[in-house]
Amino acid sequence: MNRRFFSVLAASTSGVALLFGAAGGLPASAASHPAASGGRTLVIDNSFSLVTADPGHMFENTGELVDNAMYDTLVTFDGNNFKKVVPLLATSWQVLDGGRKYVFHLDPKAKFSDGTPVTSADVVWSEQRLVNLKGNPSVLLGGETITAEGPETVVFTSAQPNPALPYILPNPSTGVLEKSVVTKHGGTDAADASTKDTAENWLNNHSAGSGPYVMSSFNVSSQVVLTANPNYWGPKPAWSQVVVRNVNAPEQGLDVERGTYEVGVDMSPSQTKSLSGVQVVGGASPNVFFLFTNDNPKVSKVTSNKDFQKAVRYAINYKGLLQLAGAGAVQSPGVIPTAYNGSLPASADSSYNLRLAKSWLAKSGLKHPAVTLSYPESFQSNGIDFGDLAARVQQDLQQAGITATLAPASLTVALQTYRAGTEQIGLWYWGPDFPEAADYLNFAPGALVGLRAGWTAKMDPGLVALAGRAASVVNPAARQAIFQTFQRDLNAQGPFVTLVQGAQVVVGTKNLHNLTPNGLWEVDLRNLY
């Protein structure tokens, strides 16, 4: 074989070698990076849950992160404090007519990114559009009539008292759009907006809000780029550019370790253990994992047995589940997360007592009960895999003498059986639609989740009545008390066993300030600097 053969062979591979050499020999930022031109770029790694940037349609985690930065709402929360609503577009508000009427007074300084003042007409138009689009977030303002009283006053009225309203309005879906601009691009707030509104595509490439950042580019698969709003009427945005990019949780930590100003928001506590040179901040997520034992005897004569339900409650080793969930997770004493008004104190936590579990099981009269435990397969929240959690529960039940056969199904299939109320024991979590106790009335008998557990209104009229009263109580102290009673009754009489709230962890480069996980919009871009 002659020299020419080898030279050709070498040439055919040298192209590849050159490619590696060229790539490896240049810094990763060889192309013009915006940060290099004087501004600072913040990179947020997020495993995308993103469909749209249009607040009227948006109801996903990444969408909330992005829209919170672009659209001001009437009121908001201060960081991670979900117990108190603070002003944003509205400087003050009044609660009238026993919670049936809310009057919000707009800040006259507020203006959109093009410099146009924010008026009550913009607010009314945005909220009516949200309702009439009949999309995912439309339920937030269901039953509300929104009107303007002068250019700086907005009134929300409802037939029933709605004490949750101030806690619903921080949701970025209620973000205020500039009516004149969005109308020009196909937006409408008319009753037929669900078929006539065509502004979503435009709002996926532009923004029309009054928040600290404006849309620069938007791609549901790869990245969203925001730039500072030069006309922002509040404190000057800390970043000239914010890039939210789609990165899987395991890679986020590695990115942050090498990042300049970078945040990762989806890692589990265990995934952060090996990281170095970064800050890791964690807290309890508002997602509450729970079990239900179906109360419908047609679904299962075993799980509908009240003594059996008590046995299950005592059979769970909650501390073991906390170990599985990782640092930062907490046991959930009731269905309402610990960070919300109306939550139960830790002293109300269910306790593990195998002796009592066996005793209740004996009292139930069931001999060697066997049930199926349904859950979504290959699905995680806050780093907790439902399969792992189900296996632990199965093990705990086995200790008490209950045989649970695992019945995993893909999320979409499992949702079908869960929503149909046909699961004997179901393992699920509830992520809040809004951070207020009223959202958890869904667990009442005859309500959304109650019915999924086979628990009809007829089975517990007393608790139904209590839930009805709780929904209307406006006074904060009285509301706190009635929701705590509701949960205690739910724990004592209901088919639900609340397990844990997972840990929500954010990882960031050490040079970032005010880095905290946020139960609504992942991380608060408005306060991060």
Partner 1 sequence: MALAAPELSRRARRVTPAGLARFLARRLGTGLVLVVGITLVAFVITHLVPGNPAAATLGQTAMSDPTIVKAWDHQYGLDKPVVEQYLIYLGKLAEGNLGISEHDNNPVLSDLGQHIPATLELALFAIVVSTAIGVSLGLLAAVRRGRTADGVIRIASLAGVSMPTFWVALVLFIVFFSKLGWFPSGGRLDPGVTPPATITGMYTVDAILHGQWSLFVQALQHLVLPGVTLGIFTIGTMVRFTRASVLEVVNNDYVRAARAKGLPEWTVVRRHVLRPALLAITTVAGLAFANLLSGTVLVENIYGWPGIGEYAYQSAINLDLPAIMGVSMFVALVYIVINLLVDLAYSLLDPRIELR
Complex with partner 1: residue 271 or 484, whichever CB lies closer: 271
Complex with partner 1: residue 1 or 159, whichever CB lies closer: 1
Complex with partner 1: residue 14 or 351, whichever CB lies closer: 14
Q: Which token pair is 407?
A: 């019945």
Complex with partner 1: residue 200 or 423, whichever CB lies closer: 200
CA distance 397 to 311: 9
- Three-state secondary structure along 471-484? HHCCCHHHHHHHHH
Complex with partner 1: residue 30 or 159, whichever CB lies closer: 30
Complex with partner 1: residue 220 or 327, whichever CB lies closer: 220
Q: Which token pair is 236?
A: 């000057």
CB 440 → partner 1: shortest distance, Å?
12
Complex with partner 1: residue 249 or 315, whichever CB lies closer: 249
CB 30 → partner 1: shortest distance, Å?
5
CB 178 → partner 1: shortest distance, Å?
22
CB 221 → partner 1: shortest distance, Å?
4
Residue 214 has φ and ψ, to the nearest 5°, of: -125, 160
CB 11 → partner 1: shortest distance, Å?
9
CB 324 → partner 1: shortest distance, Å?
24
CA distance 286 to 504: 9
C-alpha distances (whole Å) from 437 to each of 195, 207, 208, 318, 433 are 33, 32, 32, 23, 11
Other Cβ atoms within 10 Å of 523 Cβ, number: 25
Q: Which token pair is 349?
A: 């936590």
- Three-state secondary structure along 113-158? CCCCECCHHHHHHHHHHHHHCCCHHHHHHCCEEEEECCCCEEEEEE
| Identity of the residue numbered 326 | G
**Greatest alpha-carbon span in the chain:** 97
Half-sphere exposure of 419 (CA within 13 A, CB side): 6
CB 366 → partner 1: shortest distance, Å?
31
Complex with partner 1: residue 362 or 448, whichever CB lies closer: 448
CB 250 → partner 1: shortest distance, Å?
8
CB contact at 8 A, 214 and 224: no
Q: How far is C-alpha 500 from the chain's CA centre? A: 16
Q: What is the CA radius of gyration of the chain?
A: 26
Complex with partner 1: residue 372 or 442, whichever CB lies closer: 442
CB 254 → partner 1: shortest distance, Å?
4
Half-sphere exposure of 226 (CA within 13 A, CB side): 31
